[in-house]
Amino acid sequence: MIEPELAFADLNDDMACASAYLQYVVKYILENCKEDMDFFDTWVEKGIIDRLNNVAEKNFVQMSYSDAIKLLIGSNKKFEFPVKWGLDLQSEHERYITEVAFGGSPVIIRDYPKEIKAFYMRQNDDGKTVAAMDLLVPRVGELIGGSQREERLDYLEARLDESNLNKDSYWWYLDLRRYGSVPHAGFGLGFERLVQFATGI
């Protein structure tokens, strides 16, 4: 995993960093690995260069998890895994969103139900969702997952209780908030998925 953490950052900053990072990597590959990309385009996946150009040049679509669920239900497509608010999205759902619904554009889905995300993700004002995001790309689905981290001690303690996690085991994590914190965010990018996305292999 490639895992940056950003101080003085919220979810919007996190999404902007993730998008810029992916676009930088894709542009670098296209500009500096032309011979390799021509090989992959000929022998591995016809159209891979066009797919990568789409990522490098297109604006990333942003939508809430709730809107993604509505889009999937409204598609009337028969999926292997159920689609319902409160369930995590599966790869088939993510790929449908980025490949079919948005024609190959990268898509960022944000504001997931708190029950399906980690305790350290910042709770949104609605009390039902957290400031989390997944960046989806064609052929892979989720490439990057991230969130704004919960910097408020009382919210963090409540989430540990809700998740039936022993607060004593997280004393050090709680102390990072207890003695002063700032809004912060981060994400993880799966390196193998990035290689798969960039090469078609």
What's the whole-number average pLDDT of the chain?
96
pTM over the 0.85 mark? yes
* Domain residue extents for the chain: 5-150+183-199
Q: Of 155, 132, 157, whose CA–CA distance to 145 is shortest?
A: 132
DSSP state of 146: E
**Spatial CA neighbour of 19 closest among 64, 58, 60, 54:** 60
Average pLDDT, stretch 12-22?
97
Helices vs. strands in the chain: H and E counts, helices first: 8, 6
Percent of the chain at pLDDT above 90? 96
pLDDT in tens, 92-117: 999 999 999 999 899 999 999 999 99
Per DSSP, helices labelled H in the chain are 11-32, 34-43, 48-57, 65-74, 91-95, 153-162, 171-178, 191-199
User: What average pLDDT does the segment 131-157 reach?
Assistant: 96
- As a whole number of angstroms, the distance between CA 182 and CA 176 comes to 10
Task: Give me the pLDDT at residue 58, please.
Answer: 85
Q: What is the DSSP letter of 98?
A: I
Other C-beta atoms within 10 Å of 186: how many? 18
How far from each other are the two terminal CA atoms of the chain, in whole angstroms?
18
With b for 16 or more beta-carbon neighbours within 10 A and e for fewer, the 71-102 pattern comes to bbeeeeeeeeeebeeeeebbeebbbbbbbebb
* Residue 109 pLDDT: 98
CATH class for domain 5-150+183-199? alpha beta
